[in-house]
Amino acid sequence: MISCRQLTRKFGDFTAVDGISLDVAPGTICAVLGPNGAGKSTTVGMLTGLLAPTSGEAIVCGVNVAHDPVAVKRKIGVLPEDLGLFDDLTVDEHLELTGDLYGLDAATTRSRIDRLLAALGLTKGRRTFARACSHGMRKKTAFAMALLPNPEALFLDEPFEAVDPVTAATMASILRDAASRGVTVFLTSHILPMAARIADRFVIIRSGRIALNAEAAALDRPLEELYFDLAEAPVLDRLEWLGQTE
Amino acid sequence: MAGANRVTGTARVRAILKWLARAAKRNRKTFSFRGNNIFYTAIALMFMLDPALAGILIVIMGVIVLLPMSSDPLRAIPPSRNGLWPLEAGERRLLRFLSPFLNPMTWLVLGLAIWKRVSWGLVAFAGGTVLTGFFLSARSPGRGNFWRLLPRFPSPLNQMIRKNLREMLSTLDFVTGVLIAVAAAGWRAAGMLPKEAFFPFTFVAMLAISTCALSLFGLDGAPGLRRYSLLPVRGWQVLLAKDVAFIAIALLIALPLYIPGALAAALIALAVGHRASIQQMTPQHRWRFQTGPSFGDAITQIVTMTMAGAAVAYSSALFLTPCVAIWAISVWWFGREFDRR
């Protein structure tokens, strides 16, 4: 479903992603983990056609991303890092736009919008312009946009960040349900407990390279422990001025 | 927190004012007229023979510029941050009293008030405009209800067109165009506008909004541009949604004037503007004049708009056909370029 070989992206002299190769089978939830700047979002960008790779190849839903990006976009749903919302459209209008552009008929679009808004607790704010939405509302809107066209694969960049626990649980449940019906989910996250709860496969990226690519069942240690070992360990520096009387 | 307590109240207010002054200076830079100087020059030339008319237009544009320039400098502080700062009530009052003086418009009105050669009427007009701008800016940003009820377009691009309309309607270029059209409509209704003046007025109104066609993606921001890249649409469709919005506004403004000339000018403004819009996506600000990426692009746009509009107005409406063809080719060509971005 998602496959890439030697995927590399350079920005000038800086190599953000360095020869990543991986395969994600249909119906799998693959969590890509790593510190800030490790190359997670760049990888998502290349797999979704947002960024052209410097070298390497990506095949998503059977389509070569570089050869036919529009065909790939018709098959996938994406929650981008910056959410990709327009200030001048309301929550409702963003979803209508998605339905229109993915060729859904009006009745189907309306029914799916109602269901998504109810599930994500957005019904009350549906007529709010994106520029007036809270970050959480914006995140949920972008998430709903990714789900609305019934995609074969979902690419979600930090889906659980800045959403309340109930919504996070709802999102996790929606993703698990979608995966059980064959939708492939490729997500990045810094929230390790949530990733550990829903993912079938973990990929840890450090400095643009894969440090771990394993099925959840094959992990021999807790995810957090592995992460600190393979990605980066926390810096334990004492800020001596805290708590002192000046 | 003991260290913070050693700072006196005046020092805290002074520190905030210092940073507010810096923010206000940056805000003033957004009133750049790079792409619009030509517009004012064109108007000055066009109405050189009628100073009274030019005077009215200058007053209209002065008001348009003064209103946003008179905004409350305290607006630069996010309300949550303002509430968190350890300021006493007296310090907040002092900040409230002093902050309007960071705005040069306050000094302008004070200067006019003490300048004996200026009539009290002018002082009252300038003061009223500045105060209106100040109090309008103090209102919450709102939720854009004003343009919520835009018409729907029977097309899959419906919401994109509506979004583009809302973007363009939030520019001072549009406000200028509307005021010119309203003034012209008033003169026409009063029988003061001869038929031969219809096209020149139409053209001035089109000039007022033309810079929007040079910066079609300026108000989308990085997230908006990313969304275009994620949507299963071709570049020509993205451009078409922009152009439909621009043409709709152009026709609305030209309604009381000369529609065929406006359409020709708008089509050519877009045809020329596509290149600049895609190759140099200059970020724009709401409630400001839009700035074209370069003087050369603006000149090219104005010259070609003049030729097209004049051909339709003074020769034959059949000249609309090549205008449509040139525009369509431009949409197709630069749509491909948009896809290759």
Residue of A74, A86, A92, A95 for testing the chain B interface, max B β-carbons within 10 Å: A86
For chain B, list residues whose CB is within 8 angstroms of any CB belonging to chain A: 2-3, 141-144, 147-148, 156-160, 162-163, 166-167, 170, 219-224, 226-227, 229-234
Q: Pick A73's closest partner by Cβ from B2, B163, B232.
A: B232
Chain A closest-CA separation from residue B327 CA (Å):
24
In tens digits, chain A (246 residues) has pLDDT values of 899 999 999 999 999 999 999 999 999 999 999 999 999 999 999 999 889 999 999 999 999 999 988 889 999 999 998 899 998 899 999 999 999 988 899 999 999 999 999 999 999 999 999 988 999 999 999 999 999 999 999 999 999 988 899 999 999 999 999 999 999 999 999 999 999 999 999 999 999 999 999 999 999 899 999 999 998 888 878 888 888 887
Nearest of A43, A9, A245, A95 to residue B1 by alpha carbon: A245
A131, A139 Cβ separation under 8 angstroms: no
Q: From A77, which residue of chain B is nearest by alpha-carbon distance?
A: B230
Residues of A in contact with B3 (CB under 8 A): 246
pLDDT at B334 over 90: yes
Tokens 């109090």 belong to residue: B135
The rounded distance, in Å, linking the Cα atoms of B306 and B300 is 10
Per the CB < 8 Å rule, is A132 touching B141?
Answer: yes
Does the pLDDT value for residue B149 go beyond 90?
no
Domain locations in chain B as residue ranges: 7-38+54-141, 151-341
B4 pLDDT higher than 60? no
Q: Which phi and psi angles does B65 have, rounded to 5°?
A: -80, -40
Q: Which of A87, A98, A145, A152 to mutate to test the interface with B (most CBs of B within 10 A)?
A: A87
Looking at beta carbons, which residues of chain B come within 8 Å of A60? Answer: none
CB contact under 8 A, B230 and A84: yes
Q: Which residues in chain A have Cβ-Cβ distances shorter than 8 Å to B144?
A: 88, 129, 131-132
How large is the average pLDDT for residues B62-69? 75
Query: Could you report the predicted ipTM of this complex, rounded to two decimals?
Result: 0.77
Give the range among A172-176, B50-54, B285-289 with minimum mean pLDDT. B50-54
Tell me the fold of A2-230: Rossmann fold (3.40.50)
Buried b (16+ CB within 10 A) or exposed e, A10-49: eeeeebbbbebebebeeebbbbbbbeeebbbbbbbbbbbb
Structure tokens at B270: 């877009």
* Beta strands across the sheet bearing A153-157: A76-79, A153-157, A184-188, A29-33, A201-206, A209-215
Q: Nearest residue of B to residue A100 by CA position?
A: B156
More confident site: A189 or B183 = A189
B110-133: per-residue pLDDT in tens? 888 888 777 888 888 888 888 887
CA angle, B96 as apex, B94 and B98 as ends, to 5°? 65
- What percent of chain B lies above the pLDDT cut of 70? 86
Subunit contact B227:A70, Cβ cutoff 8 A: no
- The model carries a pTM of 0.82
| Band (B2; pLDDT cuts 50, 70, 90) | very low
Residue B63 clears pLDDT 80, i.e. is over it: no
Q: Between chains, do B144 and A132 touch, taking CB under 8 Å as contact?
A: yes
Q: Which of A50, A87, A90 sits opposite B229 (nearest CB)?
A: A50
B252 vs B201 pLDDT, higher one = B252
The secondary structure of chain B in percent helix, strand, coil, rounded to multiples of 5, reads 75, 0, 25
Residues of A in contact with B220 (CB under 8 A): 86
Hey, are the CB atoms on B143 and A246 less than 8 Å from each other? no
Specify the DSSP class assigned to residue B103: S
Query: Cβ contact (<8 Å) for B224 and A85?
Result: yes
The DSSP code for A217 is G
Contacts of A55 (CB under 8 A, 6+ apart): A6, A7, A8
Q: Which two tokens stand for residue B280?
A: 């140099």
* Cross-chain Cβ contact B226/A70 below 8 Å: no
CB B90 within 8 A of CB B98: no
A90 interaction partners in chain B (CB closer than 8 Å) = 148
pLDDT over 50 at B203, yes or no = yes
pLDDT score, position B13: 84
Classified as helix, coil or strand, A164 is coil
For B157-180, the pLDDT digits (tens) are 999 999 999 999 988 889 888 888
**B239 CA: distance to closest CA in chain A (Å):** 15
* Most A CBs within 10 Å, among B147, B150, B158, B231, to test the A interface: B231
Hey, are the CB atoms on A128 and B143 less than 8 Å from each other? yes
Q: For helices A135-147 and A91-101, what crossing angle results, to 10°?
A: 20
Domain ranges in chain A?
A: 2-230
Average pLDDT of the residues of chain B: 84
Instruction: Report the sign of the C-alpha dihedral through residues A33, A37, A41, A47, in that order.
Output: negative
Closest residue in chain B to residue A76, using alpha carbons only: B230
For B156, which of A48, A50, A100 is closest by C-beta distance? Answer: A100
HEC assignment per residue over B190-227:
CCCCCHHHHHHHHHHHHHHHHHHHHCCCCCCHHHHHHH
pLDDT of residue A244: 85
CB-based burial of residue A145 (10 Å sphere; 0-12 exposed, 13-18 middle, 19+ buried)? buried
What confidence score (pLDDT) does residue B131 get? 84
